[in-house]
Structure 1
Amino acid sequence: MRRRITRGARLLAVTVAAAALQATPAPAVVSPPDGVITWGTSAYRIGLADADRGYRMVVHTSVGGRDPRIRLSNAFGDQPVTFDSVYAGLQLKNADLVPGTNRRLTFDGSSSVTVEPGATAYSDPLPGKLAAESNLVVSVHTPGGAGPVTGHWMALQTSYSTHGDHTAEESGTHWTETVGSWFYLDAVSVRTAAATGAVVALGDSITDGWQSTTDRNRRWPDYLARRLQKAHTTVKGVADEGIAGNKVLADGSGPSALNRLDRDVLSQPGVRTVFLFEGVNDLKAHTGVTAPDLIGGYRQIVDRAHDAGKCVVVSTIAPFKGWPEWDPAAEAVRQEVNAFIRSHREEFDAVTDFDRILRSPYDQERMLPAFDGGDHIHPNDKGMQAMADAVDLNSLNCTRH
């Protein structure tokens, strides 16, 4: 167990591949229920709603437990959204479910729920067990449709859509449209032993998994989750709260890390540690962001997390020479920030050096070719696994008082 009480900055690198999406002020969040988050994703505005639409979404759990519950989000909507039918089951293949597993979820005992603009809603616990590393399928139907949709654009997971309400069906016959996003669903939690905790990865497109293989759960937080399930540690839950193009200081691809910290991280149940890996999008945007600016942003995140009783692990910013927006000025800021992180470890609960893991020994401003997903900023599957393998699991099992 590691315990530190100093405050500090932290943070990391990563990156972007998606176009900027409209951000809105951080909405109010509901206090988390008991339990531990087993899957999570960052919500933002991803399009406009469509009436009489069904979504069958596949998510991969980390920690196992009992009595799972989901969180539906209308954080970026400007009108109420009604979900008149919500089911959860286990994936058999594609949109087909394991027979006998698809069951209705309720909300305060009701089969339907209306979520107001800016709000989220937790389902009631669904009695039974949910295994670690299983593919949970959540099916929702929205009878009405207007205004912005809250969801996660780059899921790197094939899900399904349909017109009409087919949520109760275990067959995938009516779920003929494939989609690469998650809609409205942003968290799944389970009840576990009281000592069990979770880590939330707060990042950009590298954490979001861009350049990892779709449908194979090969983002670095996925590899980390598999390590944790096998390890002798009480930290078992993992939530991937990465957004492609996200910045620490400015809104753009979703709200900034500072503006989404409460909803995406601190509101999740059972969170013990925040893993902060973000910052490359701030410095490569050429908006004049300096190393002190980024460090100041990291410090705000660390202070707020510490005030909430969470530990913070920070990573250095990874190399990205060869990406079109790289230039010596941005590289100089990256080097200055990384030097600060390495030399001020006492400000964080722990440090992970993704820069050293990913960089080439022949040109330390570039990613090692064997880890490069092809665009010189996003690691491939092998690079994602190397990142997860570099995390000291003991650093995540941290306690603050």
Structure 2
Amino acid sequence: MRPRRSRVPFLVALAVAALSVPAAPATARTAPTGNEVITWGASADRLGEGVPDRGYRLVVHTSVGGGDLRIRLSNAFGDRPVTFDSVYAGVQAAGAELVRGTNRRLTFGGARSATVPAGATVSSDPLPGRVPAETNLVISVHSPDAAGPATGHGMAMQTSYTSQGDHTAQESAENWGSTIGSWFYLDAVTIRASFGTGAVVALGDSITDGWQSSTDLNRRWPDYLARRLQKSGTTTVKGVANEGISGNKVLADGAGQSALNRLDRDVLSHPGVRTVFVFEGVNDIKAHTGVTSQDMIAGYRKIIERAHAAGKCVVGATVGPFKGWSEWDPAAEALRQEVNAFVRDSGAFDAVTDFDRVLRSPYDHERILPFFDNGDHLHPNDKGMQAMADAVDLTGVDCASGPS
């Protein structure tokens, strides 16, 4: 699905018009309308050691469009405060270069810098002007004193850039010659959308995180879902946040905190979230740690109960096939079938998406369809990711009647 060249000049012009709107004086601004909704998110985790006087030019892809952009900086896994003395938001032209006239400074409580305590997050002030849907937004941050454990998201499937020193205000790619495949310190971008606009958060593991999808092309299954939602005239859920972590489990910490332990920070804390989409379990199952189907079911029920208590709907997805992966065996397959029976038939979820039936081979239900298999027999390729998103019932994601 290569972008049509004829649309590129139009989209760039639109981005320039949207993000280059100058801030009006405080006395002249009208009261904001609409509600705040998350347009992009990434799960926080420990990510190496912080480096002082380093800049990060982080490329993220919006889902829903709107005004009053805000970002959230996270020091969730830090053991000391970290200061960000210069933070900008702009639109990507190509690589580390920004569309001219779009790079604008973000403030925090009216100040140009923010110090984030250990274990905490800080949100920026709203930035006047509109941000289009499905835009490659670039958040440039610099910290003079980063040290100790850094917070970020390891597997971005997106190229971002680093610099030595503070070059955040620059729109050229000069001084941004080093590339990285992770997002540092940034864990959410929100906008103000029209009243009633909601968001869905995908809580998952490496398949949701996008492993083996095409880097820099936004072909994770939540990306395909976001594109469907933008085009849909039947739902007001438009925002999508991808809160997948490679290797993540429902029950146990390891590759990131477990789904149960990170639910509040990575999902329920975001504005505008209407629906939690739970697609986790294969890592618990294939680890052979003695986890039973009853353990898994209890974990799912806790997620559902906590999401419902927060007023959210919950969509459950069945665990996909993985025969041929090194950890597969008949015992793991039996556990997967028991877990999937609960997801399909218990009625505990407000809606169900059967990813197992979408991905499995008609000739061997324990294997992923070769057409969707990236080659490791667990992770779908781009075609598989799109098929997953196409299988999601948008009325279930909308869940307009509220949780049961």
Q: Scaled by the length of structure 2, what TM-score is found?
A: 0.90
Gaps of 5+ in 2: 1-33
In structure 2, the partner of 1:218 is 219
Matches within 5 A, 1:272-311: 272-311=274-313
In structure 1, the partner of 2:241 is 239
Task: Flag as ranges the 4+ runs of structure 1 deviating above 3 A.
Answer: none
| 1:342 CA displacement | 1.6
Deviations 1:238-258 (A, max 9, x none): 000000000000000110000
Matches within 5 A, 1:91-240: 91-232=92-233, 233-240=235-242
Measured in 1, the distance between the counterparts of 2:129 and 2:146 equals 33
Measured in 1, the distance between the counterparts of 2:398 and 2:190 equals 19
C-alpha contact (below 8 Å) 2:35/2:196 kept by paired residues = no
Measured in 1, the distance between the counterparts of 2:263 and 2:35 equals 20
In structure 1, the partner of 2:23 is none
| 1:305 CA displacement | 0.1
> What amino acid is the match of 2:224?
Y
- Tell me which of the two structures has the higher relative contact order, counting C-alpha pairs closer than 8 angstroms and 6 or more residues apart: 1
In structure 2, the partner of 1:7 is none
C-alpha contact (below 8 Å) 2:35/2:194 kept by paired residues = no
Measured in 2, the distance between the counterparts of 1:339 and 1:77 equals 40
Q: Is the partner of 2:202 in helix, strand or coil?
A: strand
Deviations 1:344-373 (A, max 9, x none): 1x2111000000000001110000000001
Identity across matched positions, percent: 73
| 1:34 CA displacement | 5.2
Measured in 1, the distance between the counterparts of 2:272 and 2:334 equals 38
Q: Is the partner of 1:294 in helix, strand or coil?
A: helix
| 1:398 CA displacement | 1.4
Q: Is the partner of 1:339 in helix, strand or coil?
A: helix
> What amino acid is the match of 1:336?
E
Measured in 2, the distance between the counterparts of 1:228 and 1:104 equals 30
> What amino acid is the match of 1:263?
R
C-alpha contact (below 8 Å) 2:69/2:190 kept by paired residues = yes
> What amino acid is the match of 2:40?
W
C-alpha contact (below 8 Å) 2:35/2:195 kept by paired residues = no
> What amino acid is the match of 2:124?
S
Q: Does 1:54 align with 2:55?
A: yes
Gaps of 5+ in 1: 1-32
Measured in 2, the distance between the counterparts of 1:101 and 1:336 equals 52
In structure 2, the partner of 1:10 is none
> What amino acid is the match of 2:294?
P
Measured in 1, the distance between the counterparts of 2:146 and 2:46 equals 15
Measured in 2, the distance between the counterparts of 1:260 and 1:342 equals 25
In structure 2, the partner of 1:387 is 388
Q: Is the partner of 2:150 in helix, strand or coil?
A: strand
Measured in 2, the distance between the counterparts of 1:207 and 1:183 equals 19
Q: Scaled by the length of structure 1, what TM-score is found?
A: 0.91
Q: Tell me the matched-pair count.
A: 368
Measured in 1, the distance between the counterparts of 2:389 and 2:285 equals 24
In structure 1, the partner of 2:41 is 40
In structure 2, the partner of 1:73 is 74
Measured in 2, the distance between the counterparts of 1:194 and 1:107 equals 25
Quote the RMSD (CA, aligned, Å): 0.9
> What amino acid is the match of 1:80?
P
Measured in 2, the distance between the counterparts of 1:211 and 1:145 equals 31
| 1:145 CA displacement | 2.5
Measured in 1, the distance between the counterparts of 2:118 and 2:175 equals 30
| 1:343 CA displacement | 1.6
Measured in 2, the distance between the counterparts of 1:394 and 1:49 equals 43
